[in-house]
Amino acid sequence: MQDRLIDSFMAEQLRSEDDTRSRADGADAESSNRSEKHVNRRNLLAALGSAGLISTAGCLGLLGDHDETGPRADDPTPVPTTEGGEEQTTSVDAEIFDIEWTVQGVTTEVSSNEYLLDVALDEGVDVPNQCQQGFCGVCTSEVPGDGTEYVEHSGADYLSDEQIAGGFVLPCVAEPKQNFAIETGKQDAADSYSAGGEEETTEEPTTEADVETYAVDWTVQGATTDVASNEALLDAALDEDLDVPWECGHGVCGQCSSEVPGPGTEYVEHDGNQYLSDEQVEAGYVLTCVGYPKQDFEITTGVKDEADSV
């Protein structure tokens, strides 16, 4: 049976070759070659089909190499689906708003699913910022009314609900809800804001008699500074031009983590420590940016990795 099939195919092939050679001399060679292959394959399939052996043609590689991908021209285009079999959809809900940065004198277009600060920085707008996580408050800005009407905050830990209602927002974690003007550099104004419209006076002013001064020995920098009990260690170091590591300046990032000779609570008073755990402080690690001295001591900076391992 197989021998007859091959003989039949060879006969068909010879007839096809004779037919091809009889084409006009001016026919394009490449086109003729494609036609010859097409006829040969068609004739062989016809012979195989008559014997009920179409599957054999696939095994012999006569049905093509299947290199093409995607649907055929006459097939419908498949709908993209997720792993769960649901049709994928594209987001069409985002809106674009015009944000006028009054201090910088520019206006940027910000999508409703973008943070104000991210777009400003992408556009080269000089906006005050530090942690970019809603903790430090450096990017605090003001809008014309209740902040909840202008932006959607995601993690505004620095501002209270009253401050936001008073018009203060954090561009680093704020997405716009409408067009508006925004004024940056308002951290101090937000810090002193009260719902009654008056500056908060929660602490009584200290007198000189209440302030003590301590000698702090910076071992890495090889210097000793006098630091008042109401002065942050980092501020005193920077005032003396000491090269000490720091970043956020608000007890958030941990870059200024330093080590003292014993439990940190015996040497410094933290005001706003959001990075170190009680265990780390007890082990002798302190934050110079929000740490105030309680006695004379020596301090070793640049130990963030060591503190993180506790």
Contact 125, 90 (CB under 8 A): no
pLDDT, one tens digit per residue, over 179-201 is 999 999 999 999 998 755 544 44
Residue 209: what pLDDT?
Answer: 59
Judged against a pLDDT cut of 90, whether residue 165 lies above it is answered with: yes
Task: Identify the H or E element spanning 169.
Answer: strand 168-169
Distance CA 23, CA 257 (A): 88
Give CA torsion, residues 165, 248, 275, 183, to 10 deg.
10
Q: Indicate if the pLDDT at residue 149 is higher than 90.
A: yes
Q: How many residues does the chain have?
A: 310
SS3 237: helix
Residue 77's pLDDT is: 47
- Tell me the per-residue pLDDT of 98-143, one tens digit each, with 9 for 90 and over: 999 999 999 999 999 999 999 999 999 999 998 888 888 899 999 9
The separation between CA 173 and the C-alpha centre of its own chain, rounded to angstroms, equals 12
Q: Collapse the DSSP code of 226 into the 3-class scheme (helix H, G, I; strand E, B; otherwise coil) and give the result.
A: strand
pLDDT computed for residue 198 by the predictor:
45
- Mean pLDDT is lowest, of 15-24, 236-245, 261-270, for 15-24
| Cross-strand partners of 269 | 292
- Strands of the sheet containing 213-218, edge to edge, are 223-228, 213-218, 297-301, 257-259, 285-287
Report the pLDDT value the prediction gives residue 80, as an integer from 0 to 100: 53
Range 51-60, long-range pairs (CB < 8 A, 24+ positions) = 51/1, 51/5, 53/5
| Joined tokens for residue 98 | 């015009």
**Above 60 in pLDDT, residue 29?**
no
Q: Give the model's confidence band at 54: pLDDT under 50 very low, under 70 low, under 90 confident, else very high.
A: very low
pLDDT at 51: 42
Please state the pTM of the whole predicted model: 0.50
Q: What is the pLDDT of residue 135?
A: 83
**Residue in this structure with the two tokens 């026919």, named with its chain if needed:** 27
